[in-house]
Amino acid sequence: MSTDEENVVWKGRSSQIVNFWPLVTALLITVLIIAISFWMDLPIWFCVLALVPLAYGGWLYLGTKLMVFEFTSERMRIYEGILNQKINEVELYRVKDTSLEKPFWLRVFGLSNIVLTTSDRSLPAIEIRAVRNGIVIREKLRKQVELLRDKKRVREVDFESGGDSDDMEFEGEMM
């Protein structure tokens, strides 16, 4: 077995708690439509309108269920899509910063958000919402980024321009 083989370090998805309020609202609107149709003695076809918020709730549920985050020893992949699957990919050495957010609502359920800032232009920020063991996952990711940078001998360098193209500020480490 080769040591250069790409291995999955973590694979997971967001919790459905991110859809809690939209799903509750969709359910309440559905109940309201059905109650109004029976109370006002409206035709039975009016109850069909109750399927619209249910379909919306189902779409949200599937969108969260089918979005999978995977980071390997080399890259971060995001699989998303209901009818068509889209796969976004970022090389791990391009991750500039990782942060952990623990809003009150998520802390109640033992969840947290992991936010990654990357130097990849197609995917400058990645938010992994509502995952368990966020601290452990973030630490694994951070260590893997550093290992990959050392292995490839790559360092992240940021150049910021102040207005004049001649005056450039240097941030980061020298190679």
Tokens of 31: 């109940």
Q: What tokens does 43 get?
A: 């035709």
pLDDT confidence of residue 1: 47
- Answer whether CATH 2.60.40 is correct for domain 8-153: no
The Cα 132–Cα 142 span in angstroms is: 17
From residue 20, how far is each of 16, 27, 68, 164 by CA, in Å?
A: 7, 11, 19, 48
Per-domain residue ranges of the chain: 8-153
The model's pTM: 0.80
Contacts of 8 (CB under 8 A, 6+ apart): 70, 71, 72
d(CA 50, CA 12): 33
Closest CA to 95 of 78, 81, 116: 116
Q: Write out the chain's pLDDT in tens, 175 residues.
A: 445 688 999 999 999 999 999 999 999 999 999 899 888 888 888 888 999 999 999 999 999 999 999 999 999 999 999 999 999 999 999 999 999 999 999 999 999 999 999 999 999 999 999 999 999 999 999 999 999 888 888 776 666 666 555 555 545 554 4
- For 24, which DSSP code? H
Q: State the greatest distance between any 2 C-alpha atoms of the chain, in Å, as a whole number.
A: 76
pLDDT of residue 173: 53
Separation of alpha carbons 33 and 94, rounded Å: 50
Predicted local confidence at residue 46, as pLDDT: 81
Compute the distance between CA of residue 128 and CA of residue 125 in angstroms, rounded to an integer.
10
